[in-house]
Chain A
Amino acid sequence: MLMSSLQKGDELAFNILYERYSDRILYYMFKMLRQDEGKAQDFTQDVFLKVVEYSDKFDTNKSFKTWIFTIAANHCKNHFRSNKQMVEMNSSVSSHLFQDTKEDEYDKNEFRKRLNTEVDKLSYTYKETFLLRYKEDLKLKEIAEVMDCPLGTIKSRLNHINGVLSEKLRAYETLFNDKTK
């Protein structure tokens, strides 16, 4: 409905969509670009300019959320491809081994720092899957559509992410357990 209005040039429709998605796209870019906020802002603008430019090509029977995240994912992917950073990012998962240190007490900021470190260590595709699933709460089918890959691949990636995070953040697991008790 909103996209139908946007296709006709309705600025109000654009404003509503912008309110709903601008911060989400910004955060996605922020995480994908290794927490470079300036670049994330630029990329968010690029995404919304593409939304305006290609709004006519959008199929109104499909999900806008999936479409805008596809634009964001492709834009990000193209950036890394042009800068030849994909190899570096993909190799980072195996090159860095987390130094497991026992935490004395649960510190939220410390946990966030650690989580960000571990997420950054994930390869590009794993990180993308992680964000779309845990931040955006996209369904597996939607993630598969955004990333243009089979559903089984997404399940496999999520299993891998959960395994890695539970292993790397094991120290915090016990603390959470204590906290819940």
Chain B
Amino acid sequence: MDYRLTELLEKKSFEELSEEEKSFVLTHLSETEYRQQHQLISEVKSDIKEEAKLLKANDQIRVNALEALSLKHKEKDAKTIPLWLNYKIPLWTAVAALLLIFILTTPLLFNTKMSESAPNEQLVMRDTVYIEKIVNDTIEITQPADTVIKTVYISNKTKSTEDEHLITPEFTNERNDLSKTEIDQTIASEKSFNPMNIGNRTSGKSLSEDPVGRVILNISK
């Protein structure tokens, strides 16, 4: 079947056809067949349109689609790049800016000397120092006004006891035949050498010749 015939069957009734179209149609179909086929197509069209009216889309479809629409645009807004990030600059400017930042921050990085310190080094031994401070509180003793303070003086027995333990040199006859009295008599008679009178003496004898000196120096006769 020629498409032109189909097109005419769809669009025009036999009466609406021009003379040229009628002669074309009649080469394929009789007038009755054309009328019947045209009518059939019209009926089919109207019938499916009537049937379509019976169907209604579920309202939940609209709700779900609207939900998807709002969700999509919320996500879209969240993904929107800030205006300042959207601003385009030439590549050389970006490189220069990065270089400048690097140059300016490098000395600061070296000064920190972070690399020199060992990772586990303990930099601070103790951060809290406790200082012991003794605070002597003043003790006030309050006594009634009529209190009589009696002072009792007691002899210091402990000192005398200490004196008893002092070692006093003792002259004994074990080292010399001379007694203490004899030494005193010798010094009194000025027969012996008095060491304390060295400056006044113009002449003298050696200590070994002196009897007292001999006793002190423990020189035998």
Which residues of A come within 8 Å of B, CB atoms?
6, 9, 11, 14-15, 18, 22-27, 30-31, 37, 40-41, 44-45, 48-49, 51-53, 108, 111-112, 115, 131, 134-135, 155-156, 158-159, 162-163, 165-166, 169-170, 172-174, 176-177, 180
Contacting residues, chain B, for A6 (C-beta < 8 A): 69
User: How many angstroms from the CA of A158 to the CA of B7 in the assembled complex?
Assistant: 9
Which residues of B come within 8 Å of A, CB atoms?
1-3, 5-6, 9, 32, 35-37, 39-41, 43-45, 47-49, 51-52, 55-58, 60-62, 64-66, 68-70, 72-73, 76
The residue in chain B whose Cβ has the minimal distance to the Cβ of A37 is B55
CB distance from B60 to the nearest CB of A (A): 8
Q: Is the interface of A mostly helix, strand, loop or mixed?
A: helix
CB-based contact B35/A48 at 8 Å = no
Q: Which 9 A-B pairs rank lowest in CB-CB distance, beginning with the nearest?
A: A173-B36, A9-B73, A22-B57, A155-B3, A176-B39, A27-B52, A48-B65, A159-B1, A45-B61
Further contacts, 9 of them, CB under 8 A, given A49-B64, A134-B41 = A14-B65, A44-B61, A45-B65, A52-B65, A112-B51, A135-B48, A159-B2, A172-B40, A180-B35
Contacting residues, chain B, for A9 (C-beta < 8 A): 69-70, 72-73, 76
CB-based contact B55/A52 at 8 Å = no
User: How many angstroms from the CA of A18 to the CA of B56 in the assembled complex?
Assistant: 12
Q: Which of A37, A44, A111, A170 contacts B47 (CB 8 A)?
A: A111
CB-based contact A172/B52 at 8 Å = no
CB-based contact A23/B40 at 8 Å = no
CB distance from A176 to the nearest CB of B (A): 4
User: How many angstroms from the CA of A163 to the CA of B1 in the assembled complex?
Assistant: 8
Contacting residues, chain B, for A18 (C-beta < 8 A): 57, 61-62, 65
Say yes or no: A49-B65 contact (C-beta < 8 A), given A172-B43, A174-B36, A177-B32: yes
CB-based contact B36/A134 at 8 Å = no
User: How many angstroms from the CA of A166 to the CA of B35 in the assembled complex?
Assistant: 11
Contacting residues, chain A, for B40 (C-beta < 8 A): 165-166, 169, 172-173, 176
For this complex, 8 residue pairs linking A to B, each with C-beta atoms less than 8 Å apart, are: A6-B69, A18-B61, A22-B61, A45-B58, A52-B72, A131-B48, A159-B1, A162-B9
User: How many angstroms from the CA of A161 to the CA of B115 in the assembled complex?
Assistant: 85
